[in-house]
């Protein structure tokens, strides 16, 4: 890994999700075709892009039961424990409707309503992600969403990954479709003969999925445009190089575009971590992916002081931040921008990916400066409730009408004044 002395001015912002004009045109064509031809074109795209001919898009109950039964009993128990931890954490995020009554009789409040239907895209490709099923489905269930739909590209044999189906079965999700790519996003947004449309779409995917989510936004809601995985480790001379190297590689193995960065005031630690990364890479099954990620988006930044290192981390605003210093929690107040923060040597990033409970769907590309990880809030909407009293309108009606006329909206003013006329 490259080592660089730095005092700030570092960013994780990347524009790799914007795509080319050719890719955008391809996505627009796919969306238009799905809207026009429905299931038929979904099957055609599945055969063209995934190399499998399907009679039916929907995963059957028998397929789900078979995948669940085939899952190793010990692994199934681990999934159940992880699900319990995730559910417990997200239950604490639930919002309730609230009401207040003022002395003049006016009632104001907020009604919290779960979304009717949501779609979860589970990517295929180089790895299967049952953990993403848990992280997306559970907060939706906690929020009270009644219809949860999963789409995912099929394997060459026409199946979906057994872990994905087993996790979905454990959670009671039964509406699952074998369709991926931009065509899946179009189907979730606009519907087909088989797939009814949803209100909001969640989940990461390739560039075509990202572009499709952008194109359908407005007709439906989306969670975010997810970028490549990121980790920043903030460490001092007390940290262990082998543990830091392992954590950097844990994200680098995701994708050739993943980012793995160490920020430290210790040149000794920087050199030791760089050496350790090379050593651990030798035996890593996904070595080629991790090595490409480190060459393109990996770095070790060495600062003069720990305070400067904290400033650099805040500028990076990473998806995942690990703090491995002598007193990690002492820095909590100064750390402002990260999707998730992991403190201490036993809080390795995979703890959050799979088991601890907080959501692993997090903002990337430096967007942690202004956005948050997935939560129950993403699966509800809030409606203002206003029950204005006669006394309140008599007291404030003339002010409201005056405000309306300030904006040149005479009908707004008259709508108030008609209620203030004598004899009312």
Q: Are residues 239 and 169 in the same domain?
A: no
Residue 413 CB neighbours (<10 A): 20
For residue 374, the model assigns a pLDDT of: 96
Same domain? 180 vs 125? yes
User: Residue 103 annotated as binding?
Assistant: no
Nearest C-alpha neighbor of 131 from the set 351, 354, 374? 354
379 in a structural domain? no
Total domains in the chain come to 3
Query: Among the three residues 307, 338, 356, which one is the final residue of a domain in this structure?
Result: 356
* pTM of the predicted model over 0.95: no
Catalytic status, residue 337: no
Which residues, given as ranges, of the chain have pLDDT below 50?
16, 423
Beta-carbon contacts of residue 408 (< 8 Å; ≥ 6 apart): none
Cα–Cα separations (whole angstroms), residue 406 to 130, 139, 149, 152, 410: 56, 44, 48, 53, 9
Residues 216 and 90 in one domain: yes
Catalytic-labelled residue, pool 63, 90, 276, 320:
320
The CATH number given to whatever domain includes residue 241 is 3.40.50.1980
360 is an annotated ligand-binding site residue: no
Q: What local confidence, expressed as pLDDT, does residue 423 receive?
A: 40
Q: Are residues 331 and 403 in the same domain?
A: no
Helices (H), 172-325: 181-190, 207-216, 241-252, 267-281, 287-297, 306-316
The answer to whether residue 372 is domain-embedded is no
End of a domain among 356, 377, 411? 356
Residue 75 lies in a domain: yes
**Are residues 157 and 245 both part of a single domain?**
no
Establish whether 407 is an annotated binding residue: yes
Q: How far apart are CA 230 and CA 239, in angstroms?
A: 20
User: One of 243, 319, 322, 378 is an active-site residue; which one?
Assistant: 319
- Give the residue from 177, 192, 222 where a domain finishes: 222
- Is 251 a known ligand-binding residue? yes
345 and 236 in a single domain? The answer is yes
State yes or no: 89 annotated in a binding site. no
**Is 368 domain-assigned?**
no
Same-domain status, 188 and 236 = no
Q: E strands of 265-375, at which residues?
A: 298-302, 320-324, 340-343
The DSSP letter of residue 217 is B
> Quick check: is 380 in a domain?
no
Check whether 219 is labelled as a binding-site residue: no
Parallel, antiparallel, or unpaired: how do β-strands 298-302 and 259-264 relate? parallel
Same domain, yes or no, for 239 and 337? yes
Find how far residue 327's CA is from the centre of its chain. Answer: 30
Tell me, what's the pLDDT at 354?
Answer: 95
> Does residue 187 sit in the same domain as residue 312?
no
Q: Are residues 206 and 344 in the same domain?
A: no
pLDDT score at 205? 87
- Side-chain-side CA neighbours of residue 284 (13 Å): 24
Co-location of 271 and 184 in the same domain: no
The secondary structure of residue 270, as a DSSP letter, is: H
Instruction: Tell me, yes or no, whether 320 and 175 share the same domain.
Output: no
Domain-embedded: residue 265: yes
Residue 140's nearest CA partner among 91, 185, 105 is 91
Structural domain that includes position 154: 21-102+111-222
Is position 33 annotated in a ligand binding site?
no
215 is catalytic: no
């Amino acid at each position: 890994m490259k080592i660089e002395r730095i005092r700030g001015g570092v960013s994780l912002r990347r524009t790799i999700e914007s795509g080319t004009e050719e890719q955008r045109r391809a996505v627009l064509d796919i969306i238009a075709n799905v809207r026009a031809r429905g299931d038929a074109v979904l099957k055609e795209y599945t055969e063209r892009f995934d190399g499998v001919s399907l009679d039916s898009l929907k995963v059957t109950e028998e397929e789900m039961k078979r995948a669940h039964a085939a899952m190793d009993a010990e692994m199934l128990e681990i999934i159940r424990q992880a699900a319990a931890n995730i559910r417990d954490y997200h239950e604490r995020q639930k919002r309730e409707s609230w009401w207040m009554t003022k002395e003049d009789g006016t009632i104001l409040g907020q009604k919290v309503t779960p979304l009717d239907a949501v779609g979860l895209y589970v990517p295929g490709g180089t790895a299967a992600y049952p953990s993403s099923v848990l992280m997306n489905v559970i907060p939706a269930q906690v929020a009270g969403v009644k219809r949860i739909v999963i789409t995912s590209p099929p394997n060459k044999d026409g199946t979906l990954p057994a872990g994905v189906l087993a996790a979905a079965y454990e959670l009671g999700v039964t509406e699952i479709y074998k369709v991926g790519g931009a065509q899946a996003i179009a189907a979730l947004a606009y519907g087909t003969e088989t797939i009814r449309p949803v209100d909001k779409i969640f989940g990461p995917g390739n560039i075509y999925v990202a572009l499709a989510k952008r194109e359908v936004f407005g007709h439906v809601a989306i969670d975010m445009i997810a970028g490549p995985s990121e980790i920043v480790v903030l460490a001092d001379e007390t940290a262990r190089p082998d543990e830091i190297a392992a954590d950097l590689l844990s994200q680098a193995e995701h994708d050739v575009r993943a980012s793995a960065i160490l920020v430290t005031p210790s040149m000794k630690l920087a050199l030791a971590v760089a050496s350790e990364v090379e050593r651990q890479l030798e035996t890593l099954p996904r070595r080629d992916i991790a090595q490409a990620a480190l060459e393109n988006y990996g770095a070790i930044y060495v600062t003069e002081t720990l305070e400067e290192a904290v400033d650099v981390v805040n500028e990076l605003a990473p998806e995942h931040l690990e703090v491995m210093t002598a007193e990690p929690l002492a820095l909590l107040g100064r750390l402002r921008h990260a999707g998730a923060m992991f403190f201490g040597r036993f809080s390795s990033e995979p703890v959050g990916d799979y088991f601890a409970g907080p959501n692993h769907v997090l903002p990337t590309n430096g967007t942690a400066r202004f956005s948050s990880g997935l939560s129950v809030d993403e699966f509800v909407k809030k409606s203002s409730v206003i029950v204005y009293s006669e006394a309140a309108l008599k007291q404030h009606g003339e002010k409201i009408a005056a405000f309306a006329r300030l904006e040149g909206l005479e009908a707004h003013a008259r709508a108030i004044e008609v209620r203030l006329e004598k004899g009312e």
